[in-house]
Amino acid sequence: MCGFVGFTNYIADDGRVLGHMMNAIVHRGPDSAGIYLDKDIALGFRRLSIIDIDGGNQPMFNENGSLVLTFNGEIYNYKQLRDELLELGHTFNSHADSEVVLHGFEQWGEEVVSRLRGMFAFVIYNKDDGAIFGARDMFGIKPLYYTTSENSFIFGSEIKAFLHHPEFKKSLNEQALAHYLSFQYSPTEETFFEGVYKLPPAHSFCFKNGELTKKRYFKPEFKSSPGVVDFYADEIDKTLRESVEAHKIADVEVGSFLSSGIDSSYIAEAAKVDKTFTVGFESDEGDRYNEIAFAKTFADTIGVENISKVITPKEYWETFPKIQYHMDEPLADPAAIALYFVSELASKHVKVVMSGEGADELFGGYRIYQEPITLTFYDRLPFALRRIVSKVCEYLPKIHGINYLIRRGKTIEERYIGNANIFSKKERDALLKSDIAKTAPEPKVLCDKFYDEIANKDDVTKMQYLDINMWLMGDILLKADKTSMANSLELRVPFLDKNVMELAVTLPLDCRVNNTTTKVALRRAAQKTLPRVTAQKDKLGFPVPIREWLREDEYYNMVKAQFTSEVAEKYFNTKKIVKLLDMHKQGKTDLSRKIWTVYTFLVWYNEYF
């Protein structure tokens, strides 16, 4: 696992500038560094050595030196591709997986991305024609950002590196703030930095003669096939175990994260790792926010070591600004901090860990996916009538049950924007001062293109498809990459594998969710080797006691200081955000998610601006 930066080269003192940019991402690759400089381009690379530790240094060149590669990720089918390329006459100088990308591009051009099985972001510079080709894996596991200045095209693994380029002008993208207040993450190709973009998952780009063109090379297609749960459970078990074996390829020890749920437990058992890692929180509510005891019991059951840490509230709050710095963009998912601490813990023992990200999106794991199939008497009323009730309820006080009536009078396309739906457009416009932010489109508009792509499918499939394209990349994988890399730890996700995806899209609806449970077939598969209590356990997902902390004087005052700061005055109606905080502290309603979303932005802003 690594990090890279680069820019088309029209500046003086390019080596010093490149060095500063590389230093900004040294956490992604503390083991070694490499640079390539010529009159047209500057490329910098930081390496975390996992495969072919003594070889595999970058930037990497093809046989005649005409192509230069910087690569971040792992290619799990690299041995097969290497053999194929050797038969075609290519010469390899290392046993690193990254070299197959270089020779693969030499052989197949941009089509190489469709042959890769793994997680990756890379850039290849062609000396002969000056073209820069880049690509990102099909899920967006690894990040790739880019921007253009007056004279340069700048790209890299993290935005913070751009701050050290003399032509980069740091400016807040206020529309991104509006989107973020609804989604709790940055949901579009734009970022919080004006003019900086993220390459979407499953996309490649070519930059040549000052022009950037992008191309999507993969799109998930749900095509449910008939079959019973037991059949799919067998197929899932076989396919996932093969994926885990592929993801274990490394020249260093591999460990695994372990919570109390099915996803990480299934991975840990299948991988037969020696070490697992778990974190929990101090709380007055017992074990509600602490999965350590359950994880240790499971680890004993499968005969592996479990290393754990209890996070104190003081640690959580003090480390939070540092974590937002590492994110590049604000992310209001409280679980990101837990992921940072478990990554920090694991990095003291191993260089690589496996985790269970992606299982919920692919196999139907979120409880909200049950909503379209859980029909009540009210749902059997004519939709036109429910729609009228919904419109009326939008103007009523938000008492218990009102939100249900509002949602049940809307189509899935109108009501579902992903797992997080923090502020409505009306709510966020009331909070924001900026006219630029207020002109941002409604949250659902950002989802329309994905709903259009899957318009003929059932509502559950539509929700999954939206989450795979937005929530997974914008929230789940952002925090997975940035928190692990902040600790120089490689995180691998066997559920997010090409072969696993090919199977997941064929599952019938009743093998994904039913009225009583989620991940139906996956749970059946897990029960083959996991205790039933683990295979059937409800999802928790790094529960964090934010709700109760915000009612304690110490943390209430900490947040209030931010809510009444000059920065808050610049962007928000401070009376309204303080009112949210006060209402929550008084116990009138749980507004912790809304409060945390605003607070996170303010903390992030202080780190960068």
Instruction: Please list the active-site residues.
Output: 2
108 Cβ contact list (under 8 Å, min separation 6)? 115
Q: Which of 344, 247, 349 is nearest to 305 (CA)?
A: 349
Contact 99, 92 (CB under 8 A): yes
Q: Based on the number of CB atoms within 10 Å of its own CB, is 212 exposed (0-12), middle (13-18) or buried (19 or more)?
A: middle
Which residues on neighbouring strands pair with residue 36, listed in sequence order? 43
Q: How many CA atoms, within 13 angstroms, populate the side-chain half-sphere of residue 174?
A: 13
Please name the helix (run of DSSP H) or strand (run of DSSP E) that holds residue 559, with its range, or none. helix 553-563
Q: How many CA atoms, within 13 angstroms, populate the side-chain half-sphere of residue 578?
A: 13
Q: What interhelical angle do 592-608 and 574-585 show, nearest 10?
A: 130
Which residues on neighbouring strands pair with residue 133, listed in sequence order? 124, 206
Contact 357, 495 (CB under 8 A): yes
Angle at 49 between CA 47 and CA 50, to 5 degrees: 135
Contact 471, 446 (CB under 8 A): no
Q: What interhelical angle do 443-453 and 459-466 show, nearest 10?
A: 110
Q: DSSP secondary-structure letter at 474?
A: I
Angle at 195 between CA 192 and CA 200, to 5 degrees: 75
For β-strands 275-281 and 305-311, DSSP reports them as parallel
Angle at 280 between CA 417 and CA 50, to 5 degrees: 80
Which residues on neighbouring strands pair with residue 255, listed in sequence order? 353
Q: Based on the number of CB atoms within 10 Å of its own CB, is 582 exposed (0-12), middle (13-18) or buried (19 or more)?
A: middle
Q: Which of 581, 547, 549, 586 is nearest to 562 (CA)?
A: 581
Q: Rounded CA gap, 456 and 465, in Å?
A: 12
